[in-house]
Chain A
Amino acid sequence: MKRQFKIWTAFFGLSAFSATLRAQNSDSLDRQLPLRTLLLQEVPVSPSKNISEAAREIRQNNLQELTDKILEYTPGINMIRRGNFAMEPSLRSLNGGQITMSINGMRIFGACTDKMDPISSYVEPNNLESFSVSYDPGANAAGSGIGGGIDFRLKQPSFSDVQQWSGRFGSGFETNGAAVQTLAGVEYSNADLAFQANGIFRRSSNYRASGGREIPFSQYRKWNGSVSMMVRSGKSGYLKADYLQDEGYDIGYPALTMDVAFAKARIAALSFVRNSRAGMVRWETKGYYNYIDHAMDDTRRPPETVPMHMDMPGTSTTFGAFSVLDLHLSDSHHMKVKVDGYHNRLWATMTMYPSDGSPMFMYTLANPVRSDLGLHISDAISLSKKLTLTPSARLEYMHDAISGSDAKEQLSGLFEGALSRNRMVANLSIAASFQPDKDWLLNAAIARGGRAASLQEAYAFYIYNRLDAFDYLGNPDLSQESSLNLSFGSTYRNSSLEISTNVFGYFIQDYIAGTILDGYSTMTIGASGVKQYINVASARLYGGEVALKWEPMNRLVVSSLNTFTRGSDNEGSALPLIAPFKTINAVDYNFRKTFFRIEGVTNAAQKHVSTQKYGETMTPESTILNLHMGKQFSLSKQTKLKINLSVENLFDEDYFQHLDIMKISRPGRNLTCRMTVLL
């Protein structure tokens, strides 16, 4: 059991944790599992991960919690909330194009112009094996960004010496919103073939905030299924095929003016992995394709709130490939080289139907296409038993263009001259970790991060932003946003106490933000004006995370996870979407196969906002209390039954958080009962 919670960390410095969290029943896989993170060096430290893991493990335990909630209880991650579903992760309050999000290293881009479909909404705990967070731009192999990225790792089968079958099914019910989840999964393996399939169905009605107040348009319905298969090819290689499909329907977004009729994702990959027999070399080559189809819907809204009916569909199509070589050159020298490329095409349109007059059509994203080629190298060298240095680099070349003559013609009204752009981005970092004795670990990193404008930032055509109520225009001539990231971390651990601290300062140049365009008339009815993305000369972001775990007595664990960020631009104005201080404090008690957890989640007030400039208003402090308990029963040698009960927001507080768009109240008291049978 211990092994499965072991956190392997690649040390690219404090900001370079690449932690893998293994879900349940993965320890049997471990022997077979190839290196799947940046495991250049296995350092069994990073207590902040360890500590936060207890909270996450509870949530992932029965495979039914939304991925959103699992992410939300991770230090450094805050979720931007637009509805009761599909929240958008922000990493140290960086989001959107500033960070990368990938699934098994595959680049996937949401299709929704209103960011209703972050890719985290397409993975579910029952097919999510782990996610790795990298804060270091240079060490982030998935892509370029100024704040690192999150890579979601899907469950994969593994070969076994003897033939094995295993399975699971489960169901859960939540009183708030009468939400239900049903899941099932099956795994099969032998020495040459391994297969797994799983699926989940979820449904929720409108949830109720404090006092039973119903939040209209907060319902959702979705299913998610994935299969993967591995076939051994030769003695040291195997072929792996993955397919994931996720379809959501009738998803309400109370914070937005429209809901989602459907959001569909199809994600497919084919990989070939080759390991040297001694385990010194691992070489993986993958080709992938994904297609996101998304349609917004206003037909269920009350007519008086819909000035004009409109259709807003969007798609995102990506195909790509990468080849990554992990070289274990010696015990003190590990190297990783990755070559990757992808091609992404976005399409989004709006058709409006006035009650009198003809339908009106336009592209909101006029077929922008990005072709990308990247090279990533990192090299971990242990100079001594105590000191490890890891320089890393990622170079990326992008070619952006508009495809289709009608799309080009439409944009001719906004942008002069040719619309295609070439962009070159370099991310570099060097990290050091120093272990003076067995109790202490210190690390520090310096990185230069850069990122190209996203296709939305480059080519948006009157895309409405609910946060500040402005229509946004893209700007193909944006310079890359770059940053100098400094970070420092320390960890202390003894037999009963672990404490880990990270502090960071990001000094951003050419920060990409919207500025008001005078004299432009709005496209969206009721919008306050039109903004265009520009480069703000500079901005800075600093903050830190503190994680603490204390075992005052046997079976009793007290933990505290704390996250803080603060950001301001060159004029001293507060940056938007910066989460205030967040602290999650919990007491866990484990006895045999039973656990109890009492947990308080506090978000401090956010008063550092610039309403005038970025449209944000202040947010008051909030605290909620959650209770969790669970028990595992052994029905037979193989079969186990897990039952989890929880009460979230025990005192039925009326609250919302700073990253909640439009400050819609979050759910009031919610009783949850979940059962999972492992076969």
Chain B
Amino acid sequence: MLLVALFAFASCSKDNDINTDQELKKALIDEKTTPGGVRVKLWADSEDLRVSWNKLYVSLKTSSGANLTNASVTYKPVMDMMTMAHSSPAEQPVYNAEQSLYEGAVVFSMPSGTMGSWTLTVSVNNEPVVFDIVVKPAAANTKHTAAIVGSDGISYTVALIQPFKPKTGINDLQILINKRQDMMNFPAVEDLSVELKPEMPSMGHGSPNNVNPVHTGKGHYSGKVNFTMTGDWRLHFKLKRGNAVIVEDITLDLLF
């Protein structure tokens, strides 16, 4: 009797868990259906999307319930600020057969709020569905994305991809650099050299044995960062194209 009750309870809790998928360990943000009848589920690593680089996934099911694995999927984030609208950097999804998900990412550059609201248009084989997205501010004392106008007059965006969970010692560092071509297009920048300098703002000291990030493809730059202790860390990046300094100092803030 007890066993049955336990079993019932266990299955019950599983059924109730509508916002996360146990197997995927992803949080379901929303779901919509395209005019063509494809069910689009939008997933993220956590329920909270923040002002940062966010990994976003979609799963596609046809009306018959079969997984759609060979669609062309694109993301288009748009911030509607009443008088104007702008987009932000996005990494277009690629199908991951292992997880049966299309994986991409979006850098939300500001939080949702009185200033405006975010939508994410997911196009499946050119059929768009529009998701309303709530973007929360960055966690206190952190800044995982920043934008600055370079010496060439172009605005550059730097977003932190790794370390997602910083620890003391050597961490793999990965950042994404985009530029603003116009309000709606933020292509990846692949031709910069980056100098990294970590700093603890409350102490003024840095750390040794960091490795400057170098371009590895699609605007991703990978290096190493050494955190000698926990606390507030500021990553200073200097962006250069050849010998020309494009951005003297753009910073991201981490806290752990």
Q: Which residues of chain A have a CB within 8 Å of any CB of chain B?
A: 308, 350, 352, 354, 356-362, 406, 408-414, 461-462, 517, 519-523, 525
A352 to B170, alpha carbons, bound, how many Å?
Answer: 21
Chain A positions within 8 Å of B255 at CB level: 358
Task: Report B-chain residues with C-beta under 8 Å of the C-beta of A350.
Answer: 229
Contacts of B169 in A (CB 8 A): 408-413
Q: Across the interface, which residues of B come within 8 angstroms of A517, CB to CB? A: 208
Indicate if the CB atoms of B168 and A410 lie closer than 8 Å.
yes
Q: Could you tell me the distance between the alpha carbons of A517 and B206 in the complex, rounded to whole angstroms?
A: 14
B201 at the interface (CB under 8 A from A): yes
Given contacts A406-B167, A406-B168, A412-B170, contact A359 B205 (CB under 8 A): no
Interface residue tally of chain B, by bracket? Answer: 20 to 34
Report if A360-B230 is in contact (Cβ < 8 Å); known contacts: A410-B169, A413-B168: yes
A358 to B208, CA, bound (A): 21
Interface centre among A354, A414, A521 (most CB of B within 10 A): A521
Whether B231 and A523, one on each chain, are in contact in the complex, defined by CB atoms closer than 8 angstroms, is: no
1/0 per residue, CB under 8 A from A, across B218-256: the answer is 000000001111111000000000000000000000010
Q: Which residue of A lies closest to B205 (CB)?
A: A521
**Chain A contact residues: helix, strand, loop or mixed:** loop
Q: Which residues from A are CB-within-8-Å of B201?
A: 357
Complex Cα gap A357–B206 (Å): 16
In the bound complex, CA of A156 to CA of B16 (Å): 71
A358 to B202, CA, bound (A): 9
How far, in Å, is A253 (CB) from chain B's closest CB?
23
Query: CA of A292 to CA of B168 in the docked complex: distance in angstroms?
Result: 26
Q: Is B11 an interface residue (CB 8 A)?
A: no
B203: Cβ under 8 A from any A Cβ: yes
For the complex, give the distance between the alpha carbons of A519 and B197 in Å.
12
Q: Are A519 and B208 in contact (CB under 8 A)?
A: yes
- Does B62 interact with chain A (Cβ within 8 Å)? no
Determine whether the beta carbon of B203 is less than 8 Å from that of A413. Answer: no
Whether the pair B168, A409 counts as a contact (CB closer than 8 A) is yes
Q: How far is the CA of A640 from the CA of B229 in the complex (A)?
A: 59
B200 at the interface (CB under 8 A from A): yes
A-B contact pairs, 21 of them (CB 8 A): A308-B203, A354-B202, A354-B232, A358-B230, A359-B231, A361-B168, A362-B229, A409-B167, A409-B168, A410-B169, A410-B229, A411-B169, A412-B170, A413-B169, A413-B207, A413-B226, A413-B227, A414-B226, A461-B228, A520-B208, A523-B203
Is A357 touching B202 in the complex (CB atoms < 8 A)?
A: yes
Residues of B within 8 A of A410 (CB): 168-169, 228-229
A408 and B169 alpha carbons, distance in the complex (Å): 8
Encoded as 1 (CB less than 8 Å from any A CB) or 0, chain B from 151 to 187 comes to 0000000000000000111100000000000000000
Bound CA–CA A461/B141 (angstroms): 26
| CB neighbours of A522 from chain B (8 A) | 205
Known A352-B231, A359-B231; further 9 A-B contacts with Cβ < 8 A: A350-B229, A357-B201, A360-B203, A409-B169, A517-B208, A521-B208, A522-B205, A523-B203, A523-B229
Write out, one digit per residue, whether chain B residues 45-88 have a CB within 8 A of any chain A CB (1) or not (0).
00000000000000000000000000000000000000000000
| Pick from A308, A406, A414: contact of B202, CB under 8 Å | A308
Which residue in chain A gives the minimum CB-CB distance to B141?
Answer: A358
B209 within 8 Å of A (CB atoms) = yes
Bound Cα distance from A517 to B209, whole angstroms: 12
Given B168, B228, B231, which contacts A357 in the complex, CB threshold below 8 Å? B231
* Structural contact, A362 and B168, CB atoms closer than 8 A: yes
Residue of A with least CB distance to B201 = A357
Given A412-B170, A413-B227, CB of A358 within 8 Å of CB of B207? no
CA–CA, A350 to B200, complex, Å?
A: 15
Bound Cα distance A6, B250 (Å): 76
Contacts of B231 on A, CB cut-off 8 Å? Answer: 352, 354, 357-361
A298 to chain B, nearest CB (A): 15
- Contact digits for B13-40, partner A, Cβ 8 Å, 1 yes 0 no: 0000000000000000000000000000
Known contacts A409-B169, A412-B169; A360 and B232 CB within 8 A of each other:
yes
Q: What chain B residues lie within 8 Å of A413 (beta carbons)?
A: 168-170, 207-209, 226-228
Closest residue of A by beta carbon distance from B168: A410
Assess the A414–B208 pair: CB atoms within 8 A: yes
> Could you say which residues of chain B place their CB within 8 Å of the CB of A411?
169
CA distance A308 to B202 in the complex (A): 9
Q: How far is the CB of A390 from chain B (nearest CB, A)?
A: 49
Contacts A360-B200, A409-B168, A521-B205 known; A462 to B230 CB distance under 8 Å? Answer: no
Determine the residue in chain A with the shortest Cβ distance to B207. Answer: A413
**CB of B172, distance to nearest CB on chain A (Å):** 11
For the complex formed, measure the closest distance between the CB of A589 and the CB atoms of chain B, giving whole angstroms.
61
Residues from chain A with a CB closer than 8 A to the CB of B205 are 521-523
Give the CA-CA distance A300 to B208 in the complex, in Å. Answer: 33
Contacts of A362 in B (CB 8 A): 168, 228-230
Query: How far does the alpha carbon of A525 sit from the alpha carbon of B204 in the complex, in Å?
Result: 8
Instruction: Pick the contact of A462: B167, B209, B226, B228 (CB < 8 A).
Output: B228
Shortest A53–chain B CB gap in Å is: 50
Chain B contacts for A519, CB-based, 8 A: 208
A357 partner residues in chain B, CB cutoff 8 A: 141, 201-202, 231-232
**Which residues of A sit under 8 angstroms from B226, Cβ to Cβ?**
413-414
The 4 closest A-B pairs by CB, nearest first: A360-B231, A362-B229, A354-B202, A413-B226
The smallest beta-carbon distance between B234 and chain A, in angstroms, is 10
CA distance A401 to B141 in the complex (A): 36
> Contacts A409-B168, A414-B209; is A354 near B228 (CB within 8 Å)?
no
Rounded to whole angstroms, the CA-CA distance of A412 and B228 in the bound complex is 9
How far, in Å, is A315 (CB) from chain B's closest CB? 19
Contacts of A525 in B (CB 8 A): 203-204
A471, closest chain B residue (CB): B205
A461 — which chain B residues lie within 8 A by C-beta?
A: 228
Nearest chain-B residue to A415 (Cβ)? B209
User: Whole-angstrom distance from the CB of B99 to the nearest CB of chain A?
Assistant: 28
CA distance A517 to B232 in the complex (A): 25
Q: Which residues of B contact A408 (CB under 8 A)?
A: 169
Closest residue of chain B to A364 (Cβ to Cβ) is B229
Residues of B within 8 A of A308 (CB): 202-203
